[in-house]
Structure 1
Amino acid sequence: MNGSRKIKASNKLSIRGKHRSTKMRRMIPWESTLERDFIKLLDFDPTVIYFEFQPVRIDFAYKGKKRKYYPDFLVRKNDYKDYIFEVKAFEKSKNEQNVLKFQVGQKYCSENNMKYVVVTEEDIRQGYLIENLDILSEVREDSIRKRVMYEIRRKLIELGEKASIHQLKLACNDIDEAVFECNLYYLIYTKEIYTDLVNNEINENIIVERMQG
């Protein structure tokens, strides 16, 4: 059964908030910091074209009582398939009631030509990824210049399509340092330039590469 859930106000025993989605261009609610970080991954994932927080209600019975289950995220990908993602701390993923919810979610998705996926902090908080995305996503769109991005890409090709940020910055010495940084970060965030965001913190020593294709 469908029906979005009304998000209750936060209290001292819970953590709730809203995160500005770069993809959806609006505030998306979250009810745990793990859900907040998952939103950052959805924003960064180029295969995700749309997502929504708790838009689906699934009714089920548990220990003789009627229950309502609101899975965390409905996600549509560029294969035009819909996915339901449940975000759960690993230590809670084996809880009896949560396991039942997972089974209910699987059944609902099977009946509605959707895919059900449970993700934990092991899937979401990999290495330095979330911290790096926090830095990259801070770039304001009004700071982006096509001419500057073109020059950064051109210089990277001249450097053999791979260089440290420091080497690339030196090659782009006619570009203001702050402008260079904003535009390079935007190119990384939009996956036009690649760097390993999981295993390395963003700094001048990390290697960036021109994306092929």
Structure 2
Amino acid sequence: MLKQVRKIKPNYRSVTGFVTYKGESIAYESTLERDFLLYHAALPNVIDITPQPISIPFIKNGRTYEYTPDYFVQFKLNDKFKPRSLMVEVKPKEEWQVNWRDWSDKWKAAIAYCNENDFRFSIYDEDRIRHHALDNVNFLSKYKNLAVDRKEINAILQQIEMRGETTVEVILELFFKGDIYRPHGKRVLWHLMSHNLIGFDIWEDITSEKLEIYHVDF
């Protein structure tokens, strides 16, 4: 398990702040890092995110330096799929494209370290971070603190567990039939999605009643 080696301090040259993940505050130093965290914190198969996880030594022009990647992301393993942990550098596309030759030594060192430890190393820019799935995460965040009836929630979850897989439309027909109740029913399901209490494809249209949802094993 890697631990944070450098603290991120507030500064006036960039946007800094925190994203809450499993009760912990994870710092970011830019809006791009913030969006990276928001997306990965919402994924059910992510089990841990560590900022500034390690200092990796590298040599440039005969001198030794240290490189600290931005984040280390660990994924849940199962019998069918064993994703490797991910070491990440978050950089705007224009910035890394201009400087990639100058930064290649430290990134080669990071790649070598990750290969030795069966990790992956990736550079994440806006093309890999700001996408439809992130839009869905931001949409669902509006319903995370929705006031819900616990008995209603339990009944819905039991129905989904019994079926294994179903659709939003089926659940709405069972519990929120009629034009008056349907909008509330959608908000309740979005609340459950925001907390990963029901499974769904984050890349699909989550406002569609045809969206497939399924029981999640905890």
* Normalised TM-score (structure 1): 0.74
Deviation at 1:177, TM superposition (A): 6.9
Residues 194 and 55 (structure 1), Cα distance of their counterparts in 2 relative to 1, 3 Å cut: closer
Kindly provide the CA deviation profile for residues 59-117 of structure 1, in whole angstroms up to 9, marking residues without a partner as x: 22323444221101112211385321222222223322333332121011123332212
Match of 1:8 in 2: 9
Aligned to 2:107: 102
Alignment of 1:34-183 (within 5 A): 34-79=32-77, 81-94=84-97, 95=99, 96-127=101-132, 129-138=133-142, 139-140=144-145, 143=148, 145=150, 147-148=152-153, 150-151=155-156, 154=159, 161-162=166-167, 168=172, 172-173=176-177, 180-183=185-188
SS at match of 1:123: helix
Do the aligned partners of 1:145 and 1:183 also contact (CA within 8 Å) in 2?
A: no
SS at match of 1:194: coil
Deviation at 1:153, TM superposition (A): 7.3
- One-letter amino acid of the structure 1 residue matched with residue 61 of structure 2: K
2 CA distance for matches of 1:2 and 1:64? 29
Q: 8 Å contact 1:3–1:57 — kept in the other structure? A: no
Unaligned runs of 5+ in 2: none
d(CA) in 2 for partners of 1:172 and 1:106? 52
Deviation at 1:143, TM superposition (A): 3.6
Change (3 A) 1:68 1:153: same
DSSP-derived class of the 1:161 partner: strand
How much identity, in percent, do the aligned residues show?
26
Aligned equivalents of 2:166, 2:85: Cα separation in 1: 36
Report the AA paired with residue 210 of structure 1: I
SS at match of 2:14: coil
2:15 is paired with a residue whose SS is coil
Q: In the TM superposition, what is the alpha-carbon distance from 1:180 to its structure 2 partner?
A: 3.3
**2:118 counterpart letter in structure 1:** N
* 1:152/1:172 contact within 8 Å kept: no
Structure 2 counterpart of 1:208, one-letter code: L
Check 1:93–1:169 CA distance in 2 against 1; reply closer, same or farther (3 A cut).
farther
Aligned residues: 203
Indicate if the aligned counterparts of 2:169 and 2:210 stay in contact, CA closer than 8 A: yes
**From 175, 192, 198, the counterpart of 2:198:** 192
Report if aligned partners of 1:144, 1:183 keep a CA contact under 8 Å in 2: no
In structure 1, distance between residues paired with 2:184 and 2:157: 11
